[in-house]
Amino acid sequence: MRSATPWSIVFDDLLVATGETLYMVVVSTLIAVLLGAPVGIWLQLTAPGGLKPRPVLHKVLGFVVDLGRSMPFLVLLVVLTSLTRLLLGSTIGPSAAIVPLAVGAIPFVGRLVQNVLAEVHVSVVEAAVTTGSSTLRIVRSVLLRESLPALVNAIGVTAIALLGYSAMAGVVGGGGLGDLAVRMGYQRFNDRYLWSTVVVLAVIATAIQFTTNRVARGVDRRRTASV
């Protein structure tokens, strides 16, 4: 029996791991949204009844997206090592974990964004069409702006999903809270590490949810009381 690790050391390790986790989640979420949103827009535009219906292209695109979503993240992490080396020159560390995290989330974001955009009522979109607006303007001023609250929520969902996936980053030496929990907590039977990481992860997830809810409500102009 060893004596429990002093809280001060646990705390220092947690701080480092939290930093790594936040770095991975924030950067990969940003990249996934920037690259995934266009995929979602494209999916919605080419859908039957969309602004530029292209049924075959839509099916192919949808198939690729679903293929990407069905890929287990652990497999993606390993499969993408050559891409990671190409982009970063290295395959270990938190930055190296960002590549598979972001790539894995692109199809996920794509589907989320498509579903959100599909909620904009067809009569609203057609009204914009009859004003002579270009497709680009309709995407920007109508589809994206009308669904902004739902898009903000979708970003929150993505960030929390990536928070979960980032736990596996330890496989490529990415570190982070999940890695800390497995290596120090689970494999060494150190309950202080195990439970404190769980608490920190829960706090981060709650904070993301709370923030995106607030922002979503802040940008929503529907049902605003008139008095």
CB 33, CB 155: distance < 8 Å: yes
CA 52/CA 32 separation, integer angstroms? 24
Stretch that binds other proteins, among 16-24, 119-127, 158-166, 189-197 (CB under 8 A): 119-127
The answer to whether residues 112 and 151 touch, using CB atoms and an 8 Å cutoff, is no
53 binds other proteins (CB under 8 A): no
198, 164 contact by CB (below 8 A): no
Kindly write out the interface string for residues 131-160 of this chain, putting x where it contacts other proteins by CB under 8 A and - elsewhere: xxxx--x---xx--xx-x------------
Q: Is 187 helix (H, G, I), strand (E, B) or coil?
A: coil
Residue 175 Cβ, how far from other proteins at the closest point, in Å? 41
Residue type, 40: G
Is 65 in contact with 59 (CB distance < 8 Å)? no
Please identify, using beta-carbon distances, which residue of 1 and 225 lies nearer to other proteins.
225
Binding to other proteins by CB under 8 A, coded x per residue (else -) over 193-222, reads: --------------------------xxxx
What is the CA 24 to chain-centroid distance, rounded?
A: 11
What is d(CA 206, CA 211) in angstroms, rounded to the nearest whole number?
8
Size, binding site for other proteins by CB under 8 A: 26
| 188 binds other proteins, rule: CB under 8 A | no
User: Site residues for other proteins, window 11-30 (CB under 8 A)?
Assistant: none
For binding to other proteins (CB under 8 A), which residues are involved? 121, 123-124, 126-134, 137, 141-142, 145-146, 148, 219-226
